């Protein structure tokens, strides 16, 4: 019955209790939402790491890791491939040649890591081919000779990207609800090609007001992007013999991932082209990327491959992308620490409220102790009341937090305004928050623990009461 | 009037526990807010210092199209008069000319994209000061094996030595600190230094050799005395290719720079890129960084037609966004914290007032004006906020001082993760600045806000109701 | 066996300034079934004496035996348990838990004693009916009159099957009608179930009903009279 008493006591002073409940609710919602946000972010990053950058496992020759020389190819790559074919956990694998090169167009240059791939196999392992930008060509569909797929960032650096408004672009903007009069103002710059985003923007700023730019600028910018597909890029590289070779490739497609560092570095060409240029044999590869059916099988498959091919270096995605690996490891802890922090801040208010509740009831408590309620029961009564008080707010907060997460996970949360900063570190700018059930369990446990700890001070105060003095009436 | 304060102060301590707990909650909020902001701002400052002050410069004079199109074709003439005018600006600490462009570096079978930085060696000492960053000692695995042939070295030092494999050091004292040795132990240190000394020297203006950065030298397996081939694109599309001996290795504090920088004398760079009398930028560090934007405007007048002056935020918007994003998220977290404390204070004031309602009724009955009563309670709350805020600030102060001069350095996996992303694994705290007092002010305002409604209810106190209690 | 046996009981309160002897060498015996009132002016020590008998306070010296068990030697922890199982209390006010109904208030004490659910249910209904509140079992204290509240308190005190019930000024807050009802009820219980009642009171009406009156003055018993039935009111 102590449970019943404690629960009913919570509602004795409705106003006061509601203040605490409201604050606990707010804090819990904040904590739940933050957790959902972080999990969503990590989800995205891991997904990108596994499905675009690193696959689950990568195999190299150990020499290649310390010295990316062209000759450090994987030993027994054939045997490894056969073994992978037979493993049920393996969904697909892709063999790659990798070469560091210098890329140049008449207007710009940059260093690029060329990856010579088998297109079909690569599509099974990496989702990069889905990230070709609109109007950005395709992923080796209509090859031609020496095709290459580069990133949007590389296209900018090589000045293959330009900005231009055409009639059709204006039409598409109108369809996207940009007002006709605003678009009409842009007539003077129709069909003029700008080489850089800034040059384009400067001219746009001449004709549009600040407000119009803040409302429609992004859309106008995006629509005016123009990629000179089929442009030539000249690549300089050292082949297996140490000779300097030059070859021009034609841009076939342009991609954009959420990881600028990846984008800046990588470009993709046909394996046969690169092998032939570099003078490499048919079974010489620098890297094998392996995709599994199930994320959880990563470590066991890694050990398995290592056991059978001890001379090869076998790394999993957590080792290859330590930023994602570490965060995944520590994410739970991090989330609980945030929640714990919030609960700590809330504890002050809870303690104060319960103290007041105890002090208001000295006579009642004295009576209870007089008729035989022992210390343990008194403590439990107060502890339960504190826990209930806190739980009501926490449950309401978890519910609200869950609702907010559900809603925001449909549309995703857009951090594009600081997006470049995130993408520079490899993290996506649009997040889909998500939370799992065990977090709610964990938070509930934390809340209960907070309630118990917070009840110590008021409970001690109650236990120190002397029944004789407490029930003394003044007459 | 003084009486009111005395009464208010004494009233606070009538219920010691409640006062203490509420003050503690305010203390906690401020202490945490200050420490967190200090960490954040300190880290940003550090990142800016490492990337910007130590290399890019707070301002750069460039050809006006250079920022959009940083190709060597957008170089400009840097006459001695121009440099003199820039240097004579009151806020300019140092201004150095540079030729910077991109090239492919290779040694044997290894190649990498690098940033070639043509500098004026003596002038650059005042800017990024590569001379200071010369690697003097490197603990390669062979050298370590040699050192460990001496069996008299204590076990913990042996472990330390092993853990520093492949690390480079720019000074004896750094090496000493990392090895955990003291100056009273010179023999061992000297011996290690002797064994691990790197040849290498700084650049001179007429040199034909280059300095390469530490991580780059490890990647290319290139040492002092080896040669490195550079290939790139010069002015107006002329191809640039040459081979240079390495005369020294420098270790740059920012890993992002450390894995791609090649310094060469500016005259060599001009030859390499086929430039005559032109530079790509004049990098500038300032005496007072708060006046950056004004200085930028001033310098722009020097040649508004051909040149423009850019500040680091324009040159590195990514860094700016990273800082912004992190700062905003920190502010949001603090906002949540403050709101929680707000509820706490609100509840406390409410409780306090309702507990003393009878007493208030009595005081009004015997003649005290309601306004005065409300004022007393308001002052009590102000005192409360004050105590919490001041104690929070007082206790946070030594923490941020320590955190600033002895910053927290990460180790292990976390450290490597940060380095992979291009940041040094250090989290220094910022010293006193506006944020420090801002937190105090915010909390103070919040206490006032939280107390407002409950205190206002005093003005509507009904004496008979109050005396009879509810 | 006597229900209560008190030998040379002394209670002295001292602070830095003054020493007060509240109970001064009291010897007292109370037998089962007594309906006894302890009376005396304020400061006579009757509250202190009652607190000592009820195990709420420890004496300075002397012994109190409750059915031959010396409660003066018990730790305060043990005393709590002892009170729960052996002593019933009816206070002047604040007897009941405000958030519980009459039924729950009575059941509560039995639950603390560890009785089974069915026993608790039967007995609670029985007792509440006995005190005349059979139809108000689900009312909360604030829905009951002062007299009714005190009756619930008596029911609760009885429910725990105590060796005796201590009532400290139980009628002080009641009007004469409720007082009469309450006293009648308690006398009835005393008669039927042979429950020992010890009152402390100022109230003449209570004294009129008492079977034995002990007068305290300055901590000493100055009068101890048995009132024969025909002299009671």
Query: What's the rounded Cα separation, in Å, for the pair A235 and A281?
Result: 20
Give the pLDDT band of residue B273 (cuts 50, 70, 90): very high
Q: Is residue A473 packed enough to be buried (19+ CB in 10 Å), middle (13-18) or exposed (0-12)? A: middle
HSE-up of residue A5 (Cα within 13 Å, Cβ side): 22
The alpha carbon of residue B469 is apart from the nearest alpha carbon of chain A, in Å, by 13
Query: Which positions in chain B touch A335 (Cβ < 8 Å)?
Result: none
Chains B and C, touching by 3 or more CB pairs within 8 angstroms: no
| Of the listed ranges A73-87, A197-211, B240-254, B357-371, the one predicted with least confidence | A197-211
Q: Are A26 and B339 in contact (CB < 8 Å)?
A: yes
What residue of A is the nearest CA neighbor of B74? A107
Give the pLDDT band of residue C81 (cuts 50, 70, 90): very high
| pLDDT tens for each residue of B191-207 | 888 878 888 889 888 88
- Chain C residues contacting A, CB < 8 Å? 51, 54, 56-57, 77, 80-81, 83-85, 87-89, 91-95, 97-100, 104, 107-109, 111-112, 156-157, 160, 169, 172
Mean pLDDT comparison of A80-89, A440-449, B134-143, B377-386, highest-scoring range: A440-449
pLDDT for residue B173 is more than 70: yes
Give the pLDDT band of residue B247 (cuts 50, 70, 90): very high
What residue of B is the nearest CA neighbor of A99? B111
Query: What's the rounded Cα separation, in Å, for the pair A320 and A287?
Result: 13
| pLDDT tens for each residue of B76-124 | 988 888 888 899 989 999 999 999 998 889 887 788 889 999 999 998 9
The alpha carbon of residue C147 is apart from the nearest alpha carbon of chain A, in Å, by 18
Cβ atoms within 10 Å, residue B306? 11
What 3-state class would DSSP assign to A164?
Answer: coil
Give residue limits of the domains in chain A: 2-48+324-471, 62-160+229-311, 161-227
Strand extents, DSSP E, chain C = 4-14, 19-30, 35-39, 61-66, 69-70, 87-90, 164-168, 196-201, 212-217, 220-226
Strand extents, DSSP E, A105-203 = 109-117, 132-137, 147-151, 161-163
3-state secondary structure chain B: CHHHHHHHHHHHHHHHHHHHHHHHHHHHHHHHHHHHHHHHHHHHHHHHHHHHHHHHCCEEEEECCCCCCCCHHHCEECCHHHHHHHHCCCCEEEEEEEEEEEEEEEECCEEEEEEEEEECHHHHCCCCCHHHHECCEECCHHHHHHHCCCCCCCHHHHHHHHHCCCCEECCHHHHHHHHCCCCCCHHHHHHHHHHHECCCCCCCCCCCCEEEEHHHHHHHCCCCCCEEEEEEECHHHCEEEEEEEEEEEECCCCHHHHCCEEEEEHHHHHHHCCCCCEECEEEEEECCHHHHHHHHHHHHCCCCCCEEEEEHHHHCHHHHHHHHHHHHHHHHHHHHHHHHHHHHHHHHHHHHHHHCHHHHHHHHHCCCCHHHHHHHHHHHHHHHHHHHHHHHHHHHHHHHHHHHHCCEECCHHHHHHHHHCCCCCEECCCCCCHHHHHHHHHHHHHHHHHHHHHHHHHHHCCHHHHHHCC
pLDDT at B470: 54
What residue of A is the nearest CA neighbor of B67? A198
Give the pLDDT band of residue B62 (cuts 50, 70, 90): very high
pLDDT at A472: 65
Sign of CA dihedral B250, B255, B257, B261: positive
Cα–Cα distance list, B274 to A328, B67, B100, B233, B266 (Å): 50, 21, 13, 9, 12
Under CATH, to which class is C4-231 assigned?
alpha beta
The alpha carbon of residue A374 is apart from the nearest alpha carbon of chain C, in Å, by 6
pLDDT for residue C186 is more than 80: yes
The conformation of residue C120, written as its DSSP 8-state character, comes to: H
Q: Which two tokens stand for residue C74?
A: 């018990």
Smallest Cα–Cα separation from A454: which of A152, A130, A158, A24? A24
Q: How many helices (H) and strands (E) does chain A have?
A: 20, 14
Cβ atoms within 10 Å, residue B89? 17
Smallest Cα–Cα separation from B202: which of B98, B124, B319, B296? B124
Q: Which two tokens stand for residue A32?
A: 């739940």
Length of chain C: 233
Mean pLDDT of chain C: 89
Query: What's the rounded Cα separation, in Å, for the pair A460 and A464?
Result: 6
Give residue limits of the domains in chain C: 4-231
Chains B and A, touching by 3 or more CB pairs within 8 angstroms: yes
pLDDT for residue C233 is more than 70: no
Query: Which positions in chain A touch B325 (Cβ < 8 Å)?
Result: 415, 418, 421-422
The alpha carbon of residue B429 is apart from the nearest alpha carbon of chain A, in Å, by 21
Cβ density class B405-429: b for 16+ within 10 Å, e for less: eebeebeeeeeebbbebbbbbbbbb
The alpha carbon of residue B322 is apart from the nearest alpha carbon of chain A, in Å, by 4
User: Percentages helix, strand, coil for chain C, rounded to the nearest 5?
Assistant: 40, 25, 30
| Of the listed ranges A230-239, B175-184, C142-151, the one predicted with least confidence | B175-184
Query: What's the rounded Cα separation, in Å, for the pair A204 and A208?
Result: 6
Residue scoring higher pLDDT (B197 or C105): C105
Cβ density class A198-208: b for 16+ within 10 Å, e for less: ebbbebbeeeb
Cα radius of gyration rounded to whole Å, chain B: 31
- Residue B67 phi, psi dihedral angles, 5° rounding: -65, -45
Query: What's the rounded Cα separation, in Å, for the pair B96 and B282?
Result: 5
pLDDT by position in tens, chain A (length 475):
899 999 999 999 898 899 999 999 999 999 999 999 889 988 888 888 899 888 999 999 888 877 777 888 888 888 999 999 999 999 999 999 998 888 888 777 788 899 999 999 999 999 999 999 887 888 998 868 899 999 998 988 888 888 888 888 888 888 877 788 888 888 888 888 887 777 788 888 888 888 887 777 777 887 888 888 888 999 988 888 878 889 999 999 999 988 888 888 899 999 999 999 988 888 889 999 999 998 888 999 999 999 999 989 999 998 888 778 888 888 889 899 999 989 998 998 899 899 989 988 988 999 999 999 999 999 999 999 999 999 999 999 999 999 999 999 888 887 766 666 677 666 777 889 999 999 999 999 999 999 999 999 999 999 988 888 766 655 4
Length of chain A: 475
| Cα–chain center distance at B159 | 32
pLDDT for residue B282 is more than 90: yes
Smallest Cα–Cα separation from C36: which of C163, C199, C208, C228? C199
pLDDT at B139: 82
Query: What's the rounded Cα separation, in Å, for the pair B72 and A106?
Result: 12
Please state whether beta strands B110-119 and B92-107 pair in parallel, antiparallel, or not at all (unpaired).
antiparallel
Residue C149 makes CB contacts below 8 A (sequence gap 6+) with C95, C96, C141
Q: Which two tokens stand for residue C216?
A: 């305290």
Angle, vertex CA B309, rays to CA B308 and CA B310, nearest 5: 115
What 3-state class would DSSP assign to A250?
Answer: strand
pLDDT at A475: 43
pLDDT at A418: 65
What residue of A is the nearest CA neighbor of B111? A100
Q: Which of A320, A351, A352, A360 to mutate to test the interface with B (most CBs of B within 10 A)?
A: A352
Give the pLDDT band of residue B175 (cuts 50, 70, 90): confident
Give the pLDDT band of residue C1 (cuts 50, 70, 90): confident
Cα radius of gyration rounded to whole Å, chain A: 32
Q: Are A370 and C83 in contact (CB < 8 Å)?
A: yes
Query: What's the rounded Cα separation, in Å, for the pair A442 and A337?
Result: 11
Residue B24 makes CB contacts below 8 A (sequence gap 6+) with A348, B388
Q: Which of B320, B337, B351 sits opposite A352 (nearest CB)?
A: B351
């Amino acid at each position: 019955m102590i449970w019943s008493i404690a629960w009913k006591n919570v509602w004795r002073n409705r106003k006061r209790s509601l203040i605490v409940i409201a604050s606990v609710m707010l804090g819990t919602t904040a904590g739940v939402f933050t957790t959902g946000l972080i999990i969503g972010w990590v989800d995205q990053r891991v997904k990108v790491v596994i499905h675009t950058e690193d696959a689950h496992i990568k195999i190299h020759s150990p020499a290649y890791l310390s010295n990316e020389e062209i000759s450090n190819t994987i030993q027994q790559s054939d045997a490894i491939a056969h073994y992978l074919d037979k493993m049920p956990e393996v969904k697909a694998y892709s063999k790659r040649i990798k070469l560091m090169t210098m890329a140049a167009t008449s207007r710009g240059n940059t260093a690029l890591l060329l990856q010579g791939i088998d297109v079909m196999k690569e599509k099974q392992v990496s989702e990069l081919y889905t990230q070709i930008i609109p109007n950005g060509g395709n992923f080796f569909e209509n090859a031609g000779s020496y095709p290459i797929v580069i990133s949007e960032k590389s296209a900018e650096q090589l000045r293959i990207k330009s900005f231009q408004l055409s009639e059709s672009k204006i039409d598409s903007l109108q369809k996207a609800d940009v007002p006709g009069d605003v678009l009409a103002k842009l007539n003077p710059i129709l069909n003029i090609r700008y080489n850089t985003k800034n040059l384009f923007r400067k001219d746009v700023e001449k004709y549009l007001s600040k407000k119009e730019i803040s409302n429609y600028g992004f859309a106008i910018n995006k629509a005016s992007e123009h990629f000179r597909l089929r442009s030539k890029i000249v690549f300089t590289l050292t082949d297996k013999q140490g000779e300097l070779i030059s070859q021009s490739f034609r841009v076939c497609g342009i991609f954009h991932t959420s990881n600028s560092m990846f984008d800046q570095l990588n470009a993709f060409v046909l394996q046969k082209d690169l092998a032939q240029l570099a003078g490499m044999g048919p079974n010489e590869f620098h890297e094998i990327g392996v995709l599994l059916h199930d994320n959880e099988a990563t470590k066991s498959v890694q050990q398995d491959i290592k056991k059978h091919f001890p001379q090869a270096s076998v790394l999993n995605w957590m080792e290859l992308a330590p930023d994602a690996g570490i965060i995944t490891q520590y994410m739970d802890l991090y989330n609980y620490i945030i929640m714990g922090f919030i609960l700590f801040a809330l504890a002050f208010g809870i303690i104060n409220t319960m103290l007041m509740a105890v002090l208001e009831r000295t006579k009642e408590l004295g009576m209870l102790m007089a008729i035989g309620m022992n210390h343990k029961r008194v403590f439990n009564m107060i502890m339960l009341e504190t826990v209930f008080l806190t739980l009501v707010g926490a449950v309401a907060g978890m519910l609200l937090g869950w609702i907010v997460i559900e809603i925001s996970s449909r549309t995703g949360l857009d951090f594009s305004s600081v997006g470049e900063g995130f993408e520079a570190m490899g993290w996506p700018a649009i997040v889909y928050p998500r939370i799992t059930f065990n977090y709610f369990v964990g938070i509930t446990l934390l809340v209960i623990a907070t309630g118990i700890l917070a009840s110590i001070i008021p409970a001690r105060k109650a236990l120190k009461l002397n029944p004789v003095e407490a029930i003394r009436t003044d007459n | 009037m003084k009486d009111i304060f005395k009464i208010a102060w004494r009233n606070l301590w009538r219920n010691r526990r409640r006062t203490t707990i509420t003050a503690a909650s305010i203390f906690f909020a401020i202490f945490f807010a200050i420490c967190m902001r200090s960490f954040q701002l300190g880290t940003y400052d550090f990142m800016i210092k490492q990337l910007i002050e130590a290399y890019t410069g707070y301002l750069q004079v460039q050809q006006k199209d250079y920022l959009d199109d940083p190709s060597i074709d957008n170089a400009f003439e840097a006459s001695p008069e121009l440099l003199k005018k820039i240097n004579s600006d009151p806020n300019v600490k140092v201004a150095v000319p540079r030729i910077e462009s991109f090239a492919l570096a290779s040694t044997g079978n290894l190649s990498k994209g690098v940033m070639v930085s043509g500098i004026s060696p003596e002038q650059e000492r005042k800017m990024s000061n590569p001379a200071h960053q010369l690697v003097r000692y490197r603990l390669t695995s062979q050298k370590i094996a040699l050192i460990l042939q001496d069996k008299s070295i204590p076990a913990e030092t042996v472990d330390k030595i092993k853990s520093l494999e492949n690390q480079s050091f720019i000074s004896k004292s750094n090496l000493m600190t990392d090895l955990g040795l003291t100056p009273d132990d010179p023999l061992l240190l000297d011996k290690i230094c002797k064994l691990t000394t790197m040849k290498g020297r700084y650049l001179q203006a007429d040199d034909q050799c280059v300095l390469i950065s530490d991580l780059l030298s490890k990647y290319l397996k290139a040492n002092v005395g080896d040669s490195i081939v550079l290939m790139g694109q010069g002015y107006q599309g002329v191809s640039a290719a040459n081979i240079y001996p390495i005369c020294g290795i420098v270790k740059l504090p920012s890993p992002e720079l450390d894995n791609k920088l090649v310094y060469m004398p500016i005259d060599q760079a001009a030859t390499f890129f086929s430039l005559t009398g032109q530079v790509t930028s004049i990098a500038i560090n300032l005496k007072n960084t708060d006046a950056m934007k004004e200085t930028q405007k001033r310098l722009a007048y020097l040649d508004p037609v051909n040149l423009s002056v850019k500040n680091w935020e324009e040159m590195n918007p990514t860094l700016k966004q990273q800082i912004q994003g992190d700062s905003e998220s920190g502010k949001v977290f603090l906002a949540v914290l403050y709101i929680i404390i707000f509820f706490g204070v609100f509840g406390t004031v409410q409780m306090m007032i309702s507990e003393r309602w009878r007493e208030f009724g009595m005081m009004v009955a015997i003649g005290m004006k309601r306004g005065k009563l409300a004022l007393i309670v308001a002052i009590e709350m102000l005192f409360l906020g004050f105590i919490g805020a001041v104690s929070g600030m007082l206790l946070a102060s030594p923490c941020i001082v320590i955190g600033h001069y002895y910053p927290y350095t990460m180790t292990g996996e976390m450290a490597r993760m940060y380095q992979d992303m291009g940041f040094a694994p250090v989290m220094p705290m910022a010293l006193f600045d506006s944020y420090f007092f801002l937190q105090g002010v915010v909390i103070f305002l919040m206490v006032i806000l939280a107390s407002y409604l409950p205190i206002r209810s005093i003005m509507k106190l009904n004496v008979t109701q109050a005396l009879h209690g509810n | 066996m006597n229900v209560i046996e008190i030998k040379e009981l002394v209670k002295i309160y001292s602070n830095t300034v003054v020493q007060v002897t509240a109970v001064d060498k009291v010897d007292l015996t109370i037998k089962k079934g007594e309906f006894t009132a302890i009376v005396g002016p304020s400061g006579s020590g009757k509250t202190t004496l009652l607190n000592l008998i009820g195990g709420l306070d420890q004496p300075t010296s002397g012994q109190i035996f409750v059915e031959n068990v010396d409660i003066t030697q018990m730790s305060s922890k043990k005393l709590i348990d002892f009170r729960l199982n052996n002593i019933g209390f009816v206070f002047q006010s604040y007897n009941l838990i405000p958030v519980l109904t009459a039924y729950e208030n009575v059941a509560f004490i039995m639950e603390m004693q560890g009785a089974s659910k069915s026993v608790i249910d039967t007995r609670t209904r029985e007792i509440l009916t006995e005190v005349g509140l059979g139809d108000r079992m689900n009312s909360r204290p604030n829905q009951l009159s002062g007299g009714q509240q005190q009756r619930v308190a008596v029911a609760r005190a009885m429910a725990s099957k105590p060796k005796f019930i201590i009532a400290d000024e139980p009628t002080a807050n009641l009007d004469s009608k409720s007082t009469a009802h309450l006293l009648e009820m308690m006398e009835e219980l005393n008669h039927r179930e042979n429950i020992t009642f010890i009152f402390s009171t100022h109230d003449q009406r209570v004294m009129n009903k008492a079977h034995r009156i002990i007068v305290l003055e300055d901590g000493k018993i100055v009068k101890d009279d048995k009132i024969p039935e025909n002299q009671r009111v």
